[in-house]
Amino acid sequence: MDKNLYINQALFIAALSGLMKCFQYSAACQKLDIADFKAKNQNIASEFDKFKDWRNKHYLHDENSMTETTALLFVAPESHNQALGGLPSVIWNSVQIDYVEDVQKLREVLKAVEQYIVVKIDEIGQKLIDKYKDKTREELLAFGSANIRLCSIAEPNINRNEKQ
């Protein structure tokens, strides 16, 4: 953990965002089934829901003004000869994350999601085997080469799925 609170918060939110991305719609990959995940991981289902709500309602979309800033001025007492009671102030009204407890809980949820993904990958692999196991070599080769486009960050502004 970093000693800077804002760096810790940024890293926590990045992990939270990455975790929940697995359960959101994406053109690039299949989303995971939340109900199935929670049914198979009942011991952490409530923590999962908490982190999902934090991601969706507080940190990434902030529907509940959980990271709100408010600027204000203090008015001087009547006995002072000026109206303003000092310099403008800004209050950063946010909920502080318990970086010992909440990071540990997030880590547990991340590990459960990772294990869930491994099982799902194995299930899809087995479905592929079951579907194609009776095909001849020639039938399999007739499908052609795999259409794999290597990932690159060289052109992040270009959708590689649309690029020929």
| pTM tops 0.95 | no
Determine whether 50 is exposed, middle or buried from the number of CB atoms within 10 Å of its CB (0-12, 13-18, 19+).
middle
Closest CA to 13 of 65, 90, 64, 67: 67
Structure token pair of residue 73: 């001025």
List the chain domain ranges: 5-66+99-128
Q: Is the per-residue pLDDT at 164 higher than 60?
A: no
Q: Please write the tens of the pLDDT for every residue from 99-119.
A: 788 999 999 999 999 999 999
Q: Is the per-residue pLDDT at 34 higher than 90?
A: yes
Closest CA to 41 of 100, 91, 103, 115: 115
Instruction: Give me the chain's average pLDDT, please.
Output: 87
